[in-house]
Amino acid sequence: MMCGFVGFSNLNKNFTNEDNHFLKQMTNILKKRGPDEEDFYFSKHTCLGHRRLIIIDADNGKQPMSTTYNDSIYTIVYNGQLYNTKEIRDELVESGFDFKGYSDTEVILKAYIHFGTKIFERLNGIFSFAIWNDKKEELILVRDHFGIKPLFYTIVNGTIIFASEIKSILKHPKVRTKLDSNGILEMFGLGPAHTPGFTCFKDIFELKSAHFGIFNKYGFKTYSYWKLESKPHIDDFEQTCKTVQYLLEDSIQKQLVSDVPLCSMLSGGLDSSIIVAYASEHYKKLNGTKLKTYSVDYIDNDKNFVKSDFQPNSDNYYIDIMKNQFDTDHSTVMIDTPELANALEEAMIARDFPGMADVDSSMLLFCKGIREGATVALSGECSDEIFAGYPWFFREDALKSGTFPWSIALNERQKLLNPEISNNLDLKNYVDYRYNESLSNIVFLDEDSDETKEKRKISYLTINWFMQTLLDRSDRMSMYNGLELRVPFCDYRLVQYLWNIPWDIKALNGREKGLLRYIVKDKLPSEIVDRKKSPYPKTHNPTYLKAVKSMLTKIMNDKDAPINNLLNRDYILNILNTDGSSFTRPWFGQLMTGPQLMAYLCQVNMWLEKYHPKIEI
């Protein structure tokens, strides 16, 4: 049930027709997330709105959905997909519950009625939802294990206002758009990542992953329902391989269920190839047809590709191997450079704040192309985070950096700030605080060696920070196009099991994703298994640099551009004059270098112009 929802509740206020009008406006903002249906729930103290993208059980999955039990009326608005629907449904039927249809929405609602909050840990899927109990006058907000589906909230004068996207919250008349010191520290110290639970908007928060919140007469309080558990790994190598293979195949198989056209992304890399290898077999058994696959490429990229340590080869050769061996119905979405630059603003709007520049806008355009032929797509996202696929898992300088290894350009980030702001805000101090705060959550075992402790640290940071940034990107860019994106590698059972596998097994033969490569060596062509990691494809066309440089130059030529209030004009002009080379290290991750930094700065100005935040420092 890929959708978007909004709502607000105040136990000391009786809502009026005017509030109902506001709800409808807020709900309409989410039309791109749910293009198929719209509906509302109005009561004295709570209003709920829902936009629906129909995936399963069109007739019986309508929302908001209400059911009566023991003289209480429970009403749910839900965004997500549950992969163990049948198991939980069967258990509820044995307990005496009956069902109108087979939607996961109805299963979640009745599972909560029966099991209470204990059911949340058992939900295997991607989800966020709100449930209102009219008799208890209690609202429950819930988010999945890894925050794959978004949920934001704010509290103003006793009213809790929540939504799948921040832009819906900002539509409420009581909410003011503000950027304070913490927001600036988040945006420029950590961005496009963010501290779990926080946003760059003052007083607007996200419900943390694996958390639920209860709003009632006592106020609003959040609770954790699950976290990674550190424990000794007792399985031998053979059993470890069998367990990982089972969990991975089971996750992929469960995520192939859909009443609408489904496909898989295919880059020719190890991760997407594994998804396609397993999915193509299961899909043919389920539907008797070929699996649709999609890749993304850029016009003239074949002429302009430049090999690097992070991107050693292009994808097309490997894509051909996969589509031929597994007989998929393959299409390539071609993106031109002007499109990529022009979509930067849409990508920013989809996120509600500056993001990963063209890494975002290309994903947005890729998803737009996929949506022409499918409504659901499987992605290889999250494999690198849980199987140790990034260079920083192996590089001593990254492991010893004392900060987030994908965001080490702290001095350069500090220089970006307007000197008046920079004198009052210490980005490094803030980042250090968030870094150490995060590490304090890790539980080490007595038997953990020094190396194991170091790998636990980098794994924890990667899963809870870098992976979250990519999951945010996947959700916002896909749902902006009404496309549901599923991530089989992010099954919480698989992530939990891998968390405790010893490093020498996980990095088998000293390679990134060594264990994963070993497990699928007989499943995939050797060229795919042995291929060095290559990140999400980006354009190598020099006209992209020219395009974003032109965009940023135009902004800087406007002395009234709002970016001048926040950032160091002279430093930005220096970045322009050197084509970004004066910013000596990547802005974020591995590939956000000169052109991407310029694009990010363009997005910052677009955000300031579009959202008009009141700056409070």
The conformation of residue 389, written as its DSSP 8-state character, comes to -
The conformation of residue 143, written as its DSSP 8-state character, comes to E
Catalytic residue among 3, 47, 263, 367: 3
Unique residue bearing structure tokens 């709900």: 27
Q: What is the 3-state secondary structure (H, E, C) of 457-472?
A: HHHHHHHHHHHHHHHH
Q: What beta strand segments (E) does 10-156 contain?
A: 37-42, 46-53, 65-69, 72-82, 125-133, 138-143, 152-156
**Rounded to an integer, what distance in angstroms lies between the CA atom of residue 381 and that of residue 371?**
18
Contacts with 376 (C-beta within 8 Å, 6 or more apart), sequence order: 2, 55, 258, 260, 261, 262, 263, 483, 484, 486
Q: What beta strand segments (E) does 327-430 contain?
A: 329-335, 376-378
Render the burial of 99-122: b for 16+ CB within 10 Å, e for the rest.
Answer: eeeebbbbbbbbbbbbeeeebbee
The conformation of residue 219, written as its DSSP 8-state character, comes to E
Residue type at position 357: A
- The verdict on whether 382 is a catalytic residue reads no
The conformation of residue 488, written as its DSSP 8-state character, comes to G
Residue 533 tokens read as 């990691």
Residue type at position 113: I
Q: Look at residue 2 and give its three-state secondary structure.
A: strand
Residue pair 195/45 in contact by the 8 Å Cβ criterion: no
**Rounded to an integer, what distance in angstroms lies between the CA atom of residue 386 and that of residue 199?**
25
Unique residue bearing structure tokens 């985070």: 385
Catalytic residue numbers read 3
